[in-house]
Amino acid sequence: MRITRVLGAALLALGLAAGPAAADSSPSPGASADDGAPTQAGTSFRTAAEIEQGERATASGSTGDYLYWSFPADTGQRPTVKATVKLPARHGAETWQLDVYDGLRRRQACQYGAQSRTAAPDAGSVELACVLRTVRGWSEPWANDPLPGTYYIRLTVVDLADSDLGQPVGAEVRVDSKDIGGAAAVDGSLGKPLVPGIAVKSGEEKEGSKEAVLSSFGRDGWSSGWWSDRWVWTGIGGVLAALAGIGGYALTRGAGRPSRVPPGA
């Protein structure tokens, strides 16, 4: 009975520990209303329109323009950027390209997705996608790993007929992330997120800029730190090892001992 009570208490603690981890790993629902989302894009890194994850931003432009947006991404997230370009009637095929840059304006490679696509002359739209690598909490200075901070989206046409240059187009952009969690955790953390402009600003201007670009992570800033759900699974492994030891002891207790014979029997 004692072994049964110990096993029951350990399994209860295991369930309580795994519950929050499973809740944290579930993706948060994206915004469906899109109210307040930007309706215009920037024309450079400095003027990039700020968007939050889960909302759909729209913009109008002309073929040949560079359209820029920015969004925040934190440690453990794997962002997915999707863009749709609505095309007018035109004379030839067009090739559109979606590029993503980090806070240091380093172009980030896409794990998969149609980053560049050619639209036929009669196509009404073209869809692009880029799934980035998981954002790391720390990296070597020489590496090109994605780090927490601001990311930039650049959408532009890279090949078209000269007669189609300058025609009006419409664009839609959306960013979603999957929380990878402790599977991508590393030993170390970035001192400050790669958010251009925050380091050189001070006072109320600095705080206001931080709240604007990090609004999707709340007023307290970035969520990265020493804690990750791998600590939960490490604890679960320790509990399972203890249970295995208790079970092994219960199974082998008394084996090999001579049975007691009453005196005079």
Domains in the chain (CATH in brackets) are 30-180+193-228 (2.60.120.380)
251 pLDDT tier (thresholds 50, 70, 90): confident
pLDDT at 135 over 80: yes
pLDDT digits (tens, 9 = 90+) for 25-79: 333 333 344 668 889 999 999 999 999 999 999 999 999 999 999 999 988 899 9
Contact in structure between 96 and 116 (CB atoms under 8 Å) = yes
Q: Is 88 left (phi over 0), alpha (psi -120 to 50) or beta?
A: beta
Residue ranges in the chain assigned as alpha helix (H): 2-25, 203-213, 230-252
d(CA 170, CA 230): 43
230 pLDDT tier (thresholds 50, 70, 90): low
d(CA 133, CA 143): 13
* Phi then psi dihedrals of residue 166, to 5 deg: 90, 0
Per-residue pLDDT, 23: 38
Give the predicted TM-score (pTM) of the model: 0.66
pLDDT digits (tens, 9 = 90+) for 66-90: 999 999 998 889 999 999 999 998 8
Per-residue pLDDT, 190: 62
Distance of CA 171 to the CA centre of its chain: 23
d(CA 219, CA 212): 10
Q: Quick one: CA torsion of 68, 71, 180, 30, rounded to 10 degrees?
A: -100
Write the single-letter amino acid at 151: Y
Neighbours of 165 (CB within 10 A): 12
